[in-house]
Amino acid sequence: MSKKAQGLQLIAEANALVAATDTLNMQKAAIDQKISRLETAISNLDSFLNDIQDWKNNVNKLVTNNNNDFKGDRRDKFDDYINDATDAVTSWSNKHDDNKTQMQHKLNELKDKSSSLSSSISELSAQAASLLRMGSQLINE
């Protein structure tokens, strides 16, 4: 096989690597978009959970501050109502904390995959550049 033919073969291999790099870049872009959306969702959920905690703290202050305002059956009904409401909100908040944990786990997985794709893209790009250089040298000899 002539040097020119070898050079053309190396350039063809380099072009195949460039096509593979393009495919990986598209996959990485899709994953990075998912990462961005998930980070936004986690941030919004975190803010919402903080608002829920603030509400629970305010309700607890309300209960503490209103200890002497009424007594007896009314007091018991009020306490039951507040306890039921805070228990329901706590249960609901705990479920969303679990969801947040799962979202953070998924985010870490996606970040790892994005990083791995970046490494693969860099390696393929370097290989393609090397093959192009060698192919060009063989053709120009």
Would you say the pTM of this structure is higher than 0.85?
no
Cβ-contact 21, 132 below 8 angstroms: no
Q: pLDDT per residue over 56-78, tens digit each?
A: 888 877 777 666 667 788 878 88
Q: Residue 131: its pLDDT value, please?
A: 92
Q: Domains, the chain, ranges and CATH?
A: 3-140 (1.10.287)
Give me the mean pLDDT over the 16-45 stretch.
97
Give me the residue label for tokens 């393009």: 22
Over residues 2-27, the mean pLDDT reads: 93
Q: Rounded to 10 degrees, what is the CA torsion of 118, 13, 140, 129?
A: 0
What percentage of the chain has pLDDT greater than the value 70?
A: 96
Which residues touch 49 (CB under 8 Å, ≥6 apart)?
93, 96, 97, 100
CA-to-CA distance for 50 and 55, rounded, in angstroms?
9
Q: What is the pLDDT of residues 77-119, one digit of tens each?
A: 888 888 888 899 899 999 999 999 999 999 999 999 999 999 9
- Residue 67, pLDDT score: 64
Q: Are 134 and 9 in contact (CB under 8 A)?
A: no
CA atoms of 53 and 37, how far apart (whole Å): 24
User: What is the predicted pLDDT for the residue at 121?
Assistant: 97
More confident residue, 27 or 89: 27
Question: Mean of the pLDDT values across residues 46-57?
Answer: 91
